[in-house]
Structure 1
Amino acid sequence: MSKTLKVCPIQTGIFHPGDDLVEFILRSVDPSLWREKTILAITSKIVSIAENRFESLEKIDKKSLIRREADHDLGEIGHGVSLTIKHGVMLPAAGIDESNSENGDYILYPLDPYASTEKLRTALRQRLGIQDLGILLTDSRTGPLRMGVTGVALAVAGFHPLRNMIGQEDIFGRPLKMTKINLADSLAAAAVLMMGEANERCPLAILTETPVDFTDAPQIKEWQVDMQDDMYLPLYKHLLK
């Protein structure tokens, strides 16, 4: 793995409800940055805005909205935060966000992140004439026993999110038995670090020299773990409803 990852955050104008997402991206990214084997990281928030995924604060309280939106509501944990599972990711509040909402509404996750990501990839490939183009849909979350947030991938399109290292040898010639590299979340963490969390206005990033294999059929099922097979299930099994 000799490639040197490059992450170029893209500062943009404000993406407003009703704006065309593809045109916004093409207008924001310098044309010289587009090339074969490029990955576009994009925050899930502007995809949600493009899909009109809002809920008025006046129509529903947040706890009720969390229960409605969560695939699994694990209940309230420390600091009044509700822990949930949404789209195969464990995170607070089912991804519902109030920050950077132009009208002050709750912003929800896309209904189908993978469909949204693939649709965006198809449209950009047609406009740019690029064959090997990846899309990485990102958000941020906290982790157990750590302060602060890191980036996480909600969905990918155009590249394999996982690298299976089982059978390859370590430095002493012993075959690896369990190692798999989570490329998608690793790239999301790097991208979100550079994109920022506050008023940086960098909802996009261009990633090049990435250690991924591009494909039209990502191995999503191999990347995601069924809850019953999750090694951390004993920590939250009693909370599942």
Structure 2
Amino acid sequence: MQILPVSTPKIRPYDDLSSILVNALPRLEEKSIVVITSKIISLCEGAIADPHTITKDDLVKREAEAFIYCERYAMYLTKKHGVLLPSAGIDESNAEGYYVLYPRDILKSVNTLGMWLKEHYGVHDLGVIISDSHTTPMRRGVLGLGLCWHGFHPLYSYVGKPDCFGRPLQMTHINLLDALATSAVLCMGEGNEQTPLAIIQNAPKVTFHNQMTSQEDYLALCIGGEEDLYGPILHATTWETLH
């Protein structure tokens, strides 16, 4: 598998995303996956907030699906897009003084982008991942996260396949979406690299398709309730919500 980080100029609110991509991306090959950080989509779409008009705490509560306050760190742990995130994904870095939110309709954003890239570059099999970074319990540091995808199946199932001793596996799936996002974000960086794009080629176990990612597809990737191994921990606290 090869990963090519792609540089861009500094991106500001309401810049034209298609122009940025045309000027930055090389020729895309069949079966490539383009990873794009959610921040530049949000900036180009204008999914931002002025800190002079709303506090970050109020913004987090508004944007989160549910939240709990972590007093030790004076911040909120939130549920958003089916994952746990600090501050509902709202970011202030590389944002020129704005709060940057997630894209307003992330499914529409990823599907529109995927179809446009296929048409513009004349490719049939192409994946797109909208990425961000997040933290994981009991580990220091951040990892890449796939917020949404287009053009490929996000899971690879080992169910029914034998292990090294011939025993059929019962439950194992590989989360390709987050595995690919993590690899790309490692190459893209978190600071002043100005590489908010990456191209992945020859990714193993990926099956491409030409269907739009639906809300049902998105929900099928998420796990909750009694299925979730970590459910007892998540349900042991009282989550607040404004919705």
CA distance, structure 2, for counterparts of residue 155 and residue 96 of structure 1: 17
1:73 to 67, 74, 80: 67
Structure 2 segments unaligned to the other structure (5+ residues): none
**Residue aligning to 1:223:** 221
5 Å-filtered alignment, 1:120-131, equals 120-131=113-124
Residue 5 of structure 2 corresponds to residue 9 of structure 1: yes
**Residue aligning to 1:172:** 165
Kept in 2, the 8 Å contact 1:153–1:188? The answer is: yes
CA distance, structure 1, for counterparts of residue 79 and residue 71 of structure 2: 14
**Residue aligning to 2:39:** 45
Secondary structure of the 1:73 match is: strand
Q: Deviations over 1:125-153 (max 9, x none)?
A: 11111111100110001111110000000
**Residue aligning to 2:137:** 144
| Structure 2 counterpart of 1:224, one-letter code | C
Compare 214-223 and 17-26 and name the one that shifted more.
214-223
Distance apart, 1:14 and its partner CA: 1.3
Compare 140-149 and 223-232 and name the one that shifted more.
223-232
Alignment RMSD (CA, Å): 1.3
CA distance, structure 1, for counterparts of residue 87 and residue 77 of structure 2: 6
Kept in 1, the 8 Å contact 2:12–2:95? The answer is: no
CA distance, structure 2, for counterparts of residue 191 and residue 46 of structure 1: 15
Distance apart, 1:30 and its partner CA: 2.0
**Residue aligning to 2:239:** 240
| Structure 1 counterpart of 2:106, one-letter code | P
Kept in 2, the 8 Å contact 1:138–1:192? The answer is: yes
Distance apart, 1:63 and its partner CA: 0.9
Kept in 2, the 8 Å contact 1:161–1:220? The answer is: no
Secondary structure of the 1:155 match is: strand
Secondary structure of the 1:239 match is: coil
Secondary structure of the 1:207 match is: strand
Q: Deviations over 1:146-165 (max 9, x none)?
A: 10000000000000000111
CA distance, structure 2, for counterparts of residue 197 and residue 60 of structure 1: 26
Kept in 1, the 8 Å contact 2:67–2:239? The answer is: yes
Secondary structure of the 1:126 match is: helix
Kept in 2, the 8 Å contact 1:42–1:203? The answer is: yes
Q: Deviations over 1:183-209 (max 9, x none)?
A: 000000000000000000000000000
**Residue aligning to 1:21:** 17
1:62 to 56, 61, 79: 56
Structure 2 length-normalised TM: 0.92
Secondary structure of the 2:88 match is: helix
CA distance, structure 1, for counterparts of residue 39 and residue 155 of structure 2: 24
Residue 148 of structure 2 corresponds to residue 155 of structure 1: yes
| Structure 1 counterpart of 2:232, one-letter code | P
Kept in 2, the 8 Å contact 1:35–1:130? The answer is: yes
Structure 1 length-normalised TM: 0.93
Kept in 1, the 8 Å contact 2:224–2:231? The answer is: no
Q: Deviations over 1:19-75 (max 9, x none)?
A: 2212211110122xx110010000000010111001110111111111100011132
**Residue aligning to 1:86:** 80
Distance apart, 1:228 and its partner CA: 5.0
2:197 to 204, 219, 227: 204
Q: Work out the percentage of aligned pairs sharing the same amino acid.
A: 42
CA distance, structure 2, for counterparts of residue 207 and residue 24 of structure 1: 19
Secondary structure of the 2:134 match is: strand
